[in-house]
Amino acid sequence: MIDRSHIGREFGAHTADIEKGRLRFFAKATGETNPIYFDEEATKAAGLPTLPAPPTFLFSMDMEVPDPFEILSIMDVDLGKILHGTQEFNYFKDVYAGDTISFKSEITDIFDKKGGALEFIVKKTEATNQHGDVVAEMTRTIVVRNG
Amino acid sequence: MSEVTYASVKVGDVIPALTKDEITRTTLGLFAGASGDHNPIHIDIDFARAAGMEDVFAHGMLSMAYLAQILTNWVPQTALRSYAVRFTAITHLKDRIRCSGEITEKFEENGETRVRISVQAVNQDGDVKLAGDAVVALP
């Protein structure tokens, strides 16, 4: 069982640059057909300053650390045993190429179901831009398959 | 994109659906790189088998990105206020993900007129992979 004393633990504070090349790669990898996400002429024609970060992109930027699975090692959870349970985004400001986003995360809950066969780790992450504005909050539930 | 307005939509309306290409090993390799999620369970069959899975399987966030596209194809992303899903089943190789959404609520909040959209992603057999909802502000 995961030690419940990790609840409230803060970790993973870091900063990531939103880069055009990475945004285009993400668009390609997700089969994006809306050109505002990869063609700056279309972006500008749509009245946007430059390429926008698509709705789930900040999740990826939150993984831009030397060991994005560090929290699993700390909790002694095997990477091969996790699944993504839920994911939530609340958006407050738009994010574009050229922005620098700072992330800070906290473990807000750990609980189990089915007599411990499944454990759940809830992680909340706040993303703030270079102007100090909170741009988004993300909440993720990681499912651990025990046994 | 023709502008969608609060007055022009009603509860029960569906937004345009989207069917994505079949998920291949290449899809997962590219998404691992682009998304930054390098968990080998999605790209290395040896690792996946050692972890008790039959094969590699798709990142949940790949389908969540697919599902977001029906929202950003429908309204500008600047209108998106929240987006949340439950991953209800694993998405496998060769799945073709179909994304759909239906308006379930119209309401006012924070001085804006907003709609809630129930969204889901299913595979070619109709198995639900992701289900959730999104809130967008409409003029």
Q: Where are the domains of chain B?
A: 14-137
Q: From B56, which residue of chain A is nearest by alpha-carbon distance?
A: A80
In the prediction, which pLDDT does B2 show? 63
Superfamily holding B14-137: Hotdog Thioesterase (3.10.129.10)
Dump the DSSP string for B66-87.
Answer: HHHHHHHHHS-GGGEEEEEEEE
The answer to the question of residue A26 being in a domain is: no
How many structural domains compose chain A?
Answer: 1
Q: CB of B114 within 8 Å of any CB in chain A?
A: no
Q: Are A110 and A74 in contact (CB under 8 A)?
A: no
CA-atom Rg of chain B in angstroms: 17
Q: Work out the mean pLDDT of chain B and round it to a whole number.
A: 97
Per residue in A58-109, pLDDT tens?
A: 999 999 988 888 889 889 999 989 999 999 999 999 999 999 999 999 999 9
The answer to the question of residue A141 being in a domain is: yes
The answer to the question of residue A46 being in a domain is: no
In which region does residue B110 sit, left (phi positive, over 0), alpha (psi from -120 to 50) or beta (all else)? left
Q: Distance between CA A2 and CA A72 in Å, rounded?
A: 10
Per residue in B82-114, pLDDT tens?
A: 999 999 999 999 999 999 999 999 999 999 999
Q: A with B: how many residue pairs have Cβ under 8 Å apart?
A: 111
Q: Distance between CA B52 and CA B46 in Å, rounded?
A: 10
The answer to the question of residue A1 being in a domain is: no
Measuring CA to CA, how many Å separate A97 from each of A16, A26, A105? Answer: 11, 13, 23
Partner-chain residue, chosen from A34, A64, A91, that has the shortest CB–CB distance to B36: A64
CATH number, domain with residue A100: 3.10.129.10
Range of the domain at A83: 6-19+52-145
Q: If DSSP codes are grouped into helix, strand and coil, which group holds residue A25?
A: helix
**Strands of A82-91's sheet, edge to edge?**
A10-17, A100-113, A118-128, A134-145, A82-91, B80-87, B128-137, B112-122, B98-109, B14-19
The answer to the question of residue A84 being in a domain is: yes
Residues of A (55-84) whose Cβ lies below 8 Å from B: 55-56, 59-61, 63-64, 68-69, 78-84
Partner-chain residue, chosen from B27, B40, B61, that has the shortest CB–CB distance to A56: B61
- Entry pTM: 0.96
A30 contacts B69? CB cut-off 8 A: yes
